Structure 1
């Protein structure tokens, strides 16, 4: 074993990375001593989302490597091979969400992803929610092709291929380390999970696995490989005992001391016994490779660490053999992806979509609204607004030419456009849930922010209690009327209960796919010159009544305040064809 102090060279090997170097309170000086303190290095990655190839800063295809490109499994393979040779006592772990995000998944499914991550020789992987995007059987086929263990202690399934491949934990005898896995319980609402697969509460299941490992083996060094999200990881660390390290994913959290980092690498949380648990995660798409060197005492407790994320930029070369394979695979869809649809004068920003209004989210919502409005103009079926989930907006579109590949990368799920009809009372209740993150019909958590179309202005007070945050909603300057009906253009995924923004229903008809609707919008309006609008805005007001806003001589609405309401009735899009409703295609 090599003293972990040597990992300083590892950190210096990465660019734009600081030397995050802290000591536990329980060890004043780093060393491996005669009392059995053991040192092991963990390399980790999460949320690659089918970015097999290197990519530009926006997440789209790297067109000019000299201008700066990131990630790509050929680059990651080079770095991991270097590190594994330098630090032979290591584990190389994957925290999930390999599926969905580029044409490598849309064109090949899981086939090329499996081949690539087998080539990377991971030691273990846990499952992300997007691994279920193709359903249970497709995931099972993918897992049967993997050459390393897959762990997730809170996933229980009656599907034989999943039962055969998913373990609660795996013990690495050479290191006497157990790696437990856990997957977010939101997976059934945001992916395509079958009705014989369930997700148990992870904190209890992780603790149960820890006790089982301690009682039935001699192993006391225990690590959690988590696809729960950074905040849940911290909660789990505080509410369990026996873990030393949590390697996380799902929330795409940047940790370290670089600009825009959301916390320390590692973040340290005390468990139920007052022992320290180190929490790490490595952002998204393979732009960073996590690397942490941990020292354990003879009781399996973490004493000290050394490490930092390594930026996977052009300073690390691509593994030629793997890169050649990836480029060959990309040839199959390169011509299709390279088709130029139009241009944009502005960067269509994705990164802020979960925090508030974002330009790409607004463009997509506008495209959906215009698509349906053009179909119904002059009839009593004209839509009132369009609403999408921020979580479905996956990658930025750069200024300049817009290709079909960029559209598919930004909106990769194949969702279809649908329309739902609500009373004004129920629509305000839907929107109250959206700004409160709690569905007001079923009292369950909503798992994504949202974006709305032009002409919509939603005011909410974030300081109010959930359920009382909505202050007012106007559509083209007029406050929603409780007694009127409003048509909402949205996605089949959301209508079917995805992200819990709406109460799940199959009472709708599917129309064109989301990517085709955006394609039509770009072709018709090129060049796009969008400007970010304030559509969902903070307010210090309070809901006080359902009054119609008065429009001033200048054309600006004087905003009055609406009130929250109860009761929901979902109405079919076209009552004349109510019997012809199609089932939702939830992805």
Structure 2
């Protein structure tokens, strides 16, 4: 070839390369929610605006939908890629779930136009047949990379239950694709799901599912995605904030973790009187020392929505990750939680508060989506109102439930639940069938699902909302040494940074003092029980009768001492109603199956809560009877019995 011509062609080629625009960074926005727990309606809330404390309502599904639509519209105008995901635990929490058993969740969530959802432990609250119907009933993928459903007859082979899903973007337009090759030159984002590896210990209804190690499964999934050519990986998890951070520091290649389970409202909400949470969108170094992973979570009960923006370098590294959670507020305010016209603030005061909200970065007034509101009110709410049943008593002042005591203030409700169980098992009609008297009762904080607002208390407020799990009460004997061990293991497990605080124990007829000596660790310097009106020291070798719900009596959720003490033989009695009368079901022993789930073995007849005439929710019935007969005006007990001295 002529050298002059060759030189000219090379010059043109070089000029073309020089004029080619550099590859632009890819920015992805994610809207996210988690732990919505069937809170389709808004929840009453207290907020501080300026120096004024007021009451309003937050969240609910129609408000979430309005916020999601607004974010989609904004992303469309800006031609910005957007995903909307749910971090799991959509199930349980309100009477809606008890009545509709997952069907309402599938209906309402499908209207949200989610792009993915992780499975939480409460999605396993019923049985895998119900879960299968939910997975097949929603219009978005349900994700769990560390779930092996191949041996489970209900969940195996479901097209909509996936380890991950791929989305290809062209500006704001997205398409779910099977492979990177299907995307062409469009950027691809993989969204993978992770569930709790110890699910079998948290839920008794996992069927033949197997749950793999979170870290190992995540790294293997990331490796497979990278080999396909995926540059951008989001993990939607239901592990809790502490495990999410552990995951970020043990796995290479996850760019963003959108979590749930620990109900962490990340960000500083001190401006609203809610205190300061952990930072939102904090980044953690991967073990290779090169990559970073950003971690976010958005509280609980459909009160808030998170929005995080992640910018990637051309080679797929995270260069920027920022955003925040926004509480979604009504625009009407009251001076009392009882709301009502006489407590409503004047219009001038309303206007000042609305202006104050406009000036705050982490709360926004959002109108409910009218179509979804009307659908809930017509299709589901009438049955809910009807199901709440008879009046039990009255709550004159709000009773708050917090799982872990903060600055000496713990739950006002968990001690009442414990007191009701102690009262019920020691009532003449129950003692007639057990032949025993309980010395004290314990309640795990996570067994109580919500606070109580002032007003009428109905049966449904207890059985459908406060104690919705339908657990029998159990009587089991422990030595004083085992009681101390149980308290130590559950307190320590609840105190570690961002742990699952639902393990924390409250009691009745029992009081203790715990001193923390290092972060998340400490010792008991006093354990006493009430004996004939006098507080007595728990003796290490003496045996005591403990009342508690059957779920924790089996050692679930980290109450391991109870499982360990019942593997060979136990004198435990489970209490249920048979044809409306208290009945005893003696337990022989406990064991674990090959999947790690705890199994209860009964003498003679097993306790079958699905059998006609059998009612298992003695935990809720005990509180209903206690309020009706002993405390019709329900107020907090004088003391909780818990003295928690933290560093």
Structure 1 and Structure 2 fold alike (TM over 0.5): yes
Q: Report deviation, 1:267.
A: 1.5
Q: Report deviation, 1:377.
A: 6.9
Q: Does 2:556 align with 1:498?
A: yes
How far apart are the structure 2 equivalents of 1:117 and 1:538? 40
Secondary structure of 2:546's match? strand
8 Å Cα contact 1:46-1:249 kept in structure 2? yes
How many residue pairs align between the two structures?
494
Q: Report deviation, 1:491.
A: 0.5
- Change beyond 3 A, Cα 1:369–1:485: same
Match of 1:119 among 88, 105, 111: 111
How far apart are the structure 2 equivalents of 1:244 and 1:75? 29
How far apart are the structure 2 equivalents of 1:425 and 1:310? 47
With 333-342 and 522-531 compared, the bigger mean Cα shift is at 333-342
How far apart are the structure 2 equivalents of 1:270 and 1:466? 24
Match of 2:308 among 277, 292, 300: 292
- Change beyond 3 A, Cα 1:279–1:528: same
Alignment of 1:441-520 (within 5 A): 448-453=503-508, 455-463=509-517, 469-476=523-530, 477-501=535-559, 502-504=561-563, 505=566, 507-511=572-576, 513-520=618-625
The two structures, once aligned, show a CA RMSD in angstroms of: 2.6
How far apart are the structure 2 equivalents of 1:49 and 1:185? 21
Q: Does 2:266 align with 1:255?
A: yes
8 Å Cα contact 1:222-1:300 kept in structure 2? no
Q: Report deviation, 1:140.
A: 1.4
8 Å Cα contact 2:394-2:455 kept in structure 1? yes
- Change beyond 3 A, Cα 1:308–1:435: closer
Q: Does 2:413 align with 1:413?
A: no
Q: Report deviation, 1:67.
A: 5.1
The one-character-per-residue Cα deviations of 1:312-359 (angstroms, maximum 9, x if unpaired) are: 111211111111111120111203326432113332211244667421
- Indicate the residue corresponding to 1:394 in structure 2: 449
- Change beyond 3 A, Cα 1:295–1:434: closer
How far apart are the structure 2 equivalents of 1:332 and 1:34? 60
8 Å Cα contact 1:255-1:264 kept in structure 2? yes
Q: Report deviation, 1:362.
A: 0.6
If you compute each CA radius of gyration, which structure gives the higher value, 1 or 2?
2
Q: Report deviation, 1:446.
A: 9.7
The one-character-per-residue Cα deviations of 1:189-248 (angstroms, maximum 9, x if unpaired) are: 222333521222111111111100011x22110111111111111111111111111111
Alignment of 1:160-175 (within 5 A): 160-163=153-156, 164=158, 165-174=160-169, 175=187
How far apart are the structure 2 equivalents of 1:429 and 1:95? 34
How far apart are the structure 1 equivalents of 2:327 and 2:492? 36
8 Å Cα contact 1:269-1:278 kept in structure 2? yes
8 Å Cα contact 1:357-1:451 kept in structure 2? no
Alignment of 1:417-436 (within 5 A): 417-436=473-492
Match of 2:635 among 529, 545, 557: 529
- Indicate the residue corresponding to 2:50 in structure 1: none
How far apart are the structure 1 equivalents of 2:410 and 2:448? 12
- Indicate the residue corresponding to 2:66 in structure 1: 78
How far apart are the structure 1 equivalents of 2:544 and 2:24? 68
How far apart are the structure 2 equivalents of 1:399 and 1:271? 48
- Indicate the residue corresponding to 1:560 in structure 2: none
How far apart are the structure 2 equivalents of 1:172 and 1:49? 27
How far apart are the structure 2 equivalents of 1:126 and 1:354? 29
How far apart are the structure 1 equivalents of 2:117 and 2:486? 37
